[in-house]
Structure 1
């Protein structure tokens, strides 16, 4: 259905001063005509449908942006608006040259500041602008690097100024984000809007990402063949963690955190399961002061102690080098024209916002006299909350701000308040104007710089909002360069001359990734076993809702106590010397399911599983994300619901769906990675947890001797929660009895769910760990599992079911065996962790340094 113009742009021009798509007379600009006509031809319903399809793709692919202290959760879905921002190639060529000039210039500035400092000696930059900036790191002074460019990756925030040209708003160099989001935006938009992108002749970005791959590989010291390149991330709670994992997965580089790396003998090493592996190139997404707790911020857990020393020895290349944060300095802006003239003998191609540095008397007086018309910033890169829009301050607040500036004027700049251009956003089937900022990306190549065709556009959350921020709910757009002469087709991703194809293995697996794989296996195993057991108990409770006291029903007493023993949520239904067993059975049972703060509860287990999953999401397939997301769609409403409104039947339905998706997730894991790439760790964690929990279950339900009819019901419930009831009936075709149950689920060597089978599988998998292959005696982690398997193989059903005359209510030998197995299994767990997952100890500096 087509839509008339008035409907599409109704109320669009209210309060708009300069718009990217429309002229002052409301006519459409030439560059945008093709896109605008295409949007009109699609019609309102189709536009809304396409936007929903984009939103669905973002959610299905698990594209997130972490928002700190968000009441809706840490991982907010990424937002992409259907209408792209477009620029013609003719205009973009000028912007591209300006970006290349600016990157070249800032590269020279960084080299000079940490080198000869001619800019300071000649008075081109005041000393206070450099030494008063928190980004200047004295520890980096005089450091030589391996790459021919100091600034290898540079991003600039651009917006169109009142003169119609693109202006530089911010410089980003420490760990500029957005490349991965830009790539994913283009992928999804191109998939949902293929005809639109073909009609408007959008330039591709593939060559840029090929060049970035080459940049990282070729940065290795001494042009090393097959260098080890890693992506250093602060971790899953960082706002752009999705992008870190996405780029690591896209290029096939290990995603590491500081605890995965260690310095030895003046070199940087990655800790893997097999051995230390030397790291040659680090693409860092950690800010400068956090990368080395030995020389910089000692309270940082994000970096590697001694990393700066390795850089000084030129044994590793870090992109971008530590210390480049000095150019994220608004105090440099007033002096950039003079810097360009000094270094290049040129004028700046890209204009900047008019900026006054308050460290000079004339400029300070101007700022103080006209402060109500300006925007005040610190020269440091700081949170957006510290940017002061003075038009919103009252007289008292203005005076307080003046005093603050006068006390330390060299730390502040004032900038002209400019109303930048707006760009159309599709909102409920209509176009609305939004303030925008474009982020363009530049990387070093050969002797110059290459610029991504397009980039990432962010727009404000509402028409009235002048601030553009993802943390404040802004949305993104694809940034497209239009070129009618562009060649169609994708540029294939290519390798590099100094790399050869080498299959990754355990030696390429960072130790923290290995640990998260191991614990992902344990948590998903725990979630599945716990869910099945709780579902069985809930079904029993539905049939016995009149029971309000454990003493009234022996069977329920055993089953509910088994819940506490399985989940370790003591005192629970068991009680102890200090606190008796709970009296409100329903409240306790539901809390064991949905209370995230109760350690051992199902909700807590799923939360821990989510943490492990996010930490290694670069390893998982898109299908796994979809299943993982469906788990949360089922589970999140339940844990946020009033506990008084939850019934047994409702929880049973939720557990049914949860169990199905957990099983689906487990099945997909084997399709994502190879055994030697980490799947082995997942299997060990999964089976170890299943064995530990099964031992706990068997001990709480099979060792107690009761009346025959109660024992029958307990055994039936046990087989049901163990998913073995049908197998039992098919195999034995007899009345359920303790002998046959023990034979099947404890001692059967061919039944995949039996304890003996799982322990043997565990023993076999553990034998494939790197240290297990050393000839000679068994490793410490192999001995207890070997002993556990031996005890099971030597056990006999007759002995285990025997009841002594002294204690007719306990199967003593069965209880003794299960207790011994429990000890051996925990010994195995501890030994594996001690051998493979002990990370670096805390570091402390001999002399304290203060970093804001």
Structure 2
């Protein structure tokens, strides 16, 4: 039976926890499909449990390939979860939301102007002063800063939910740094791929015109009549819980993603530290909370912001979207006074009702809250965001009575429900789960425009309102001729160039992308070569092959850390391979290198196409397969698939524009290749007998991807001199040191600030000269049981490559002293 038909049949009396009746988004009270789903019934009727499970699996794979993650504070990033069943809203129902959100954005803008200007809301007693001034979102240093800016609110988000009667209610506002639009775009892209027939049949509003409107709004936000305003997206960095969302938004808008360290303030102007010059910034779309934006005037311990930004804003030399201090609009206490605020500032009745809210600083409200504490959710006002307090009623009562003005209580609404596959897929059923919608509004032209769609959230049924999955929100068109997003055409935008993204931080990230990619590749090749030796000789530890096995595994020990003690005869090589491939916390492991590569790429996500994230989809699936299969063969199988994924990065890199970032990737790759080759050649520093040395040399050639080249050149005569000549001095072997140094010199010379005489170039030239003068015959000369000249050469090579990397960082990455924590300065006692 089709999944939707089963869902309808099971909902004769739609109820969820606590006996509260909920509005169902699919099924009406008469048991029939609601109007938007009737239009889709013919297509949906053919989707059964097996088909929906296949679709859900595809969604997981696509999201993994796109690298979509979300991280809760203090946790590692986890995979983004998208439910395959969209949240469908018809045009008539959404029109009510659209008008209400446009009014609400006007209202929020007016509140922002008033609270940072004349403060009539506080002066006339419409809102108690304590309810506003006790909220950390109110930034005092920006008071009266909105007088010259009648439109400080450019973009906002509003969380909505339907109550038991189906009435849309406002659950909260997001104006500090409204997140979620990037996730909404990803949801739409993925769902349109896995449900193409349903997507076409639905005739819903496409999102792309809204993005152009958003881009136009940002460009028009610049102060003055600028022909080519420069816009950047300010992010707190890759450790932000919504790092993907910020990068996706910057990529879709076509504006560079920058961090606070990429910007500086000079004479009241905000400038980008581009290579060799400073570029003026006119508009900053910030994703950093206001408190962290300026260590001079706000939080002194912040290393995320830009010193002097607040002053630049006050002098109207940069436009910050949304303005510093917009976080006060997220104050839940304002919801308690929303109708009165609307009447006072706009002279209108509030169109979208809010969730019933009581500010405990009001005596009557306090009495109501204490009498109904078990029916309400209590939020604290002295932190951002305002958390829901989950504690015992008696403890909560004591906390509220100690400081009533710091608490707000809200009614627990029985939010509407929708079919969700995420929880019921194991039983082959779509189960009803409460949902909410985050809607987005942007100041476009002379009015606010609402996105026809949004980010749907599936909530935990336990009453915590914790988001457990997302949904794509489909707003259907009222007619075939209706333009997408109601925008027949978009206001003209500048066609000029955007800011170059080659700031020093980007170069540093690109350098490490090259290094980690090469490190992961070389480690995987060595794992594969070692696995062949292990399979051949693990059962013969006392033979020459057993000694070869110890030497090859010793190479892994040198590069990747711990290794069983040689000579005990009971090595658990399978466990060692699993640790190398799966243990993210193990220093030097393949898993750690891959994760470091992922982090480095995340720092410059707006520089890459979506193809790069498929690398990690391939790698993650290979690791998952290995985690489930303990078989010895699986180590080689998974390592091979992981290597295929890592190698594909070279294909993506080949299609990049040849800018300084691209050159720096290659510099990092070739420097790391030299280091990895140096580690690999330590296997040749000692003699172990003819047969053992041949086995080890064969493994070294395999790990260096030079076996075929060596065989063609030297036939089957594997000797140290031939291997060293091929891997050190051959200028035509892409895996040789000579080739790597030559390519590194070419790419380094193409990076701005390279003059031909800089220290990195001098160090590299000296290394090339020394290699040319090195005599392979001298390196292979025996001195006792080892090759002392080879040992000396490899030690020197490692040290010189380290110095080269440090010199590259000093010249090309350094932008001045590290940010200093002003808040950590000692407080001097006053001298009498």
Three-state SS of the structure 1 residue aligned to 2:474 is strand
Conserved 8 A contact 2:122-2:129 = yes
1:337-736 paired onto structure 2 within 5 Å: 337-379=339-381, 386-387=388-389, 397-426=392-421, 427-428=424-425, 430-461=429-460, 464-470=461-467, 473-487=468-482, 497=492, 499-502=494-497, 507-546=500-539, 555-567=548-560, 569=561, 585-586=571-572, 589-590=576-577, 591=579, 594-636=582-624, 638=626, 647=632, 649-671=633-655, 673-676=656-659, 678-698=661-681, 700-733=682-715, 735-736=717-718
Counterpart secondary structure, 2:27:
coil
Bigger mean CA offset, 783-792 vs 434-443: 434-443
Aligned to 2:830: none
- Higher deviation after alignment, 752-761 or 24-33: 24-33
Alignment of 1:27 with 2:3, yes or no, is: no
Q: Cα–Cα, structure 1 residues 156 and 380, in superposed 2: closer, same or farther, change >3 Å?
A: farther
| CA distance in structure 2 between the aligned counterparts of 1:49 and 1:701, rounded to whole angstroms | 49
Question: Displacement, 1:220?
Answer: 2.5
Distance 2:272 2:142 in 1: 23
Deviates more, 1:113-122 or 1:46-55: 46-55
Higher mean C-alpha deviation, range 271-280 or range 623-632: 271-280
User: Could you report, residue by residue, the CA deviation over 1:22-64 in whole angstroms, capped at 9, with x for unpaired residues?
Assistant: 3322233334422345423555554554444444433333333
Structure-2 separation of matches of 1:205 and 1:313: 36
Shift of 1:197: 4.0
In structure 2, the CA distance between the partners of 1:31 and 1:4, relative to structure 1 (3 Å rule), is: closer
- Preserved contact between residue 2 and residue 42 of structure 1 (Cα < 8 Å): yes
Q: d(CA) in 2 for partners of 1:632 and 1:91?
A: 42
For residues 716 and 48 of structure 2, the distance between their equivalents in structure 1, rounded to whole angstroms, comes to 68
Preserved CA contact (<8 Å) 2:301 2:823:
no
Contact map agreement 2:117 2:147 (CA 8 A) in 1: no
For residues 261-340 of structure 1, the aligned pairs below 5 Å read: 261-340=263-342
CA contact (8 A) 2:117 2:146 kept: no
Displacement of 1:790 in angstroms is 0.6
3-state SS, counterpart of residue 532 of structure 2: helix
Q: Aligned runs of 1:53-452 on 2, under 5 Å?
A: 53-68=58-73, 74-88=77-91, 90-144=92-146, 148-379=150-381, 386-387=388-389, 397-426=392-421, 427-428=424-425, 430-452=429-451
Take 2:435 and 2:314, find their aligned partners in 1: how far apart are those partners? 41
Q: Residues of 2 paired with 1:633 and 1:613: CA distance?
A: 19
1:823 and 2:799 correspond: yes
Instruction: Tell me how far 1:233 sits from its aligned partner.
Output: 1.9
The C-alpha deviation readout for 1:622-646, integer Å capped at 9, x for no partner, is 33322221112212554x679xx67
Structure 1 position 561, deviation (Å): 3.7
Residue 797 of structure 1 aligns with which residue? Answer: 776
Displacement after TM superposition at 1:619 (Å): 3.0
Aligned length: 815
Work out which of the residue numbers 733, 745, 752 in structure 2 matches 1:751: 733
For residues 170-194 of structure 1, the C-alpha deviation after alignment (integer angstroms, 9 at most, x for no partner) is 1110111121222222333334434
Q: Secondary structure of the equivalent of 1:516?
A: helix
Structure 1 residue 691, shift from structure 2 partner: 0.8
Task: Provide Cα deviations, 1:272-308, integer angstroms capped at 9, x if missing partner.
Answer: 4444333222111122212223322233332223322
From 822, 827, 831, the counterpart of 1:845: 822
Relative to structure 1, the CA distance from residue 847 to residue 116 in structure 2 (aligned partners, 3 Å threshold; closer, same or farther) is farther
Q: 1:133 to 1:533 in 2, by over 3 A?
A: same
Cα contact 1:51–1:81 (8 A) shared by 2: yes
Contact 1:266/1:310, CA 8 A, preserved across alignment = yes
What is the CA–CA distance in structure 1 between the aligned matches of 2:213 and 2:446, rounded to whole Å?
Answer: 13
The 1:123/1:571 distance shift into structure 2, 3 A limit, reads same
Q: Partners of 1:566 and 1:44 in 2: how far apart?
A: 48
**TM superposition score normalised by structure 2:** 0.90
Q: Shift of residue 784 of structure 1? A: 1.1
State whether structure 2 residue 831 is matched by structure 1 residue 832.
no
- Root-mean-square deviation (CA, aligned residues, Å) is 3.3
Distance in 2 of aligned mates of 1:165 and 1:490: 23
Aligned counterparts of 2:155 and 2:445: Cα–Cα separation in 1: 13
For structure 1, the 5+ residue unaligned runs are 575-580
Q: Any idea what the Cα deviations from partners look like across 1:800-846, whole Å, max 9, x if unmatched? A: 3344xxx3434344433333322221111010111222355132336
2:67, 2:616 within 8 Å by CA — same for their partners in 1?
no
